[in-house]
């Protein structure tokens, strides 16, 4: 399938190009980057030697009548204006936030500007109904990175916890903040230091997580979410706790998660005693999960690791594209991380 990647100069865009270079069904024939149009791809992504000699194009140069599949990896607020230029017959996976939220009020509160609408939410492991909805769609809103790790960490426990009081602390690598130059993200500021940001429950993924979990719990979910900037390029480690509404122990909780994800291709519930590591999932579409019960407080504790550029962005986008085009979910995707 002839494929376009729009916003290819960013970290997620670069990861899309790396993964698509070995995809058996998607042939990248158009690569655009607005501010880098005309530049060699390898000047921005030196590791992408499969694109040696190729240049980024402007979006206006793409003939969408020749394209069957589009990946959009643009900052929030920029996808919606582009969609009107793409024929309705073209399948699209949007890695941005523009079409994730169903509630216009939540969009205005957390993002600002005009709400573009909503597409099918691309988190297939959330439920069988969600995977079915993705398979029947042609336009997919790819989930946010934090939202992916947190929703998948909560979903199996939804019937045994108080969903009105879920507390999350999650650390992310610096690529999660995008490629734009910012003083607080340069190596001298980040290395050897941890800091919280968007403190006090104002992170834009909060309504997205609540919306995803509302859909499977049929109750109003409330998340208290504190993100942390970690001194590493990529990876997310989320720690989730919630009050139990049923008396279960760690073994029972672990069994619950194992059963929930038993048939999932990309989710590994680790053996008891083994904890998720961000390095173990780097470069892959994998999710690692561990769960225990803090019997002192009767709270469930869940640890989740993903690659924010993989399952949190590019590889999940390809997984969704595989589903909407009828290919195997794992086509072109690695199940093994790079490790240490």
Which residues are designated catalytic?
145
- How far is the C-alpha of 292 from the C-alpha of 294, rounded, in Å? 7
Question: Do residues 212 and 154 make contact, with C-beta atoms less than 8 angstroms apart?
Answer: no
Question: Do residues 86 and 66 make contact, with C-beta atoms less than 8 angstroms apart?
Answer: no
Question: Do residues 8 and 59 make contact, with C-beta atoms less than 8 angstroms apart?
Answer: no
Q: Which of 96, 135, 136 is nearest to 118 (CA)?
A: 96
Element (H, E) at 254: helix 250-260
- For 239, the 3-state DSSP assignment is strand
Helices 314-325 and 11-20, packing angle to 10 deg: 50
Question: Do residues 19 and 318 make contact, with C-beta atoms less than 8 angstroms apart?
Answer: yes
- How far is the C-alpha of 43 from the C-alpha of 52, rounded, in Å? 9
If you write DSSP's letter for every residue of 192-209 in order, what string do you get?
A: T--EE-STTT--TTHHHH
Eight-state DSSP code of residue 60: G
State the Rg of the chain over Cα: 19
Where does residue 253 rank: exposed (0-12), middle (13-18), buried (19+ CB within 10 A)? buried
């Amino acid at each position: 399938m002839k494929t376009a990647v729009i916003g290819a100069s960013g970290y997620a865009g670069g990861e899309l190009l790396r993964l698509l270079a070995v995809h058996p069904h998607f042939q990248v024939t158009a690569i655009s980057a607005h501010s880098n149009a005309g530049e060699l791809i390898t000047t921005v992504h030196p590791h992408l030697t499969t694109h040696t000699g190729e240049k980024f194009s402007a979006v206006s140069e793409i003939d969408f009548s020749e394209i069957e599949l589009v990946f959009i990896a643009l900052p929030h607020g920029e996808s919606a204006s582009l969609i009107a230029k793409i024929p309705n017959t073209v399948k699209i996976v949007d890695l941005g936030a523009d079409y994730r939220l169903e509630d216009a009020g939540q969009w205005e509160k957390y993002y600002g500007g005009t709400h573009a609408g909503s597409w099918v939410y691309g988190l297939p492991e959330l439920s069988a109904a969600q995977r079915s909805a993705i398979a029947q769609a042609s336009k997919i809103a790819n989930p946010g990175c934090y939202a992916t790790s947190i929703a998948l960490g909560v979903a199996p426990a939804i019937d045994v916890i108080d969903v009105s009081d879920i507390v999350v602390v999650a650390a992310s690598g610096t690529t999660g903040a995008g490629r734009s130059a910012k003083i607080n993200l340069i190596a001298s500021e980040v290395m050897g230091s941890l800091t919280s940001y968007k403190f006090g429950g104002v992170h834009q993924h909060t309504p997205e997580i609540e919306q995803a979990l509302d859909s499977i719990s049929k109750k109003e979910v409330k998340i208290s979410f504190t993100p942390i900037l970690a001194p590493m390029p990529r990876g997310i480690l989320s720690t989730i706790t919630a009050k139990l509404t049923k008396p279960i122990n760690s073994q029972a909780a672990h069994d619950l998660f194992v059963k929930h994800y038993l048939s999932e291709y990309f989710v590994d519930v680790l053996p008891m005693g083994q904890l998720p590591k961000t390095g173990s999932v780097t470069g892959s579409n994998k999710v690692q999960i561990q769960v225990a019960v803090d019997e002192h407080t009767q709270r469930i504790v869940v640890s989740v690791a993903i690659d924010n550029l993989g399952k949190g962005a590019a590889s999940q986008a390809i997984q969704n594209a595989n589903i909407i085009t009828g290919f195997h979910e794992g086509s072109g995707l690695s199940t093994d991380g790079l490790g240490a």
